[in-house]
Amino acid sequence: MFQRIAIAVGLALLLSACASQIDAGVSAEPAAPGFWWGLLHGFIFPWAWIGSLFSDDIAVYAVPNSGGWYDFGFFLGITVLGGGSFFGSKSRG
């Protein structure tokens, strides 16, 4: 059991080591979307994704943004406000 977990964690770390963000995607300007915009964008993600299938003018993720704080807000918006972790944890029965 421990060996499987160790292998899974090792593969996840190996894969995440390849991840990077281009500098053009991060902006230091005060007007760049930050944490609160990320939170909103994460919350409306399901609707924005559906809209993006039908229109090129709709995006699910703001680029450029403020970087890590926008990403953190986006993550919270999807998981907490969007019900990602809440609805997945309910028992059916």
Overall average pLDDT of the 35-54 stretch: 93
CB neighbours of residue 30 within 10 Å: 7
Amino acid at 32: A
Separation between Cα atoms, residue 76 and residue 35, nearest integer Å:
10
> How much is the pLDDT for 23?
67
| Average pLDDT score, the chain | 83
Overall average pLDDT of the 1-28 stretch: 81
Contact (CB, 8 A) for 28 and 67: no
Contact (CB, 8 A) for 58 and 51: yes
Asked if residue 36 has pLDDT above 90, the reply is yes
Separation between Cα atoms, residue 88 and residue 29, nearest integer Å:
37
pTM for this entry: 0.65
Asked if residue 35 has pLDDT above 90, the reply is yes
Q: What angle (nearest 5°) sits at the alpha carbon of residue 60, between those of residues 49 and 26? A: 165
Higher pLDDT, 15 or 21: 15
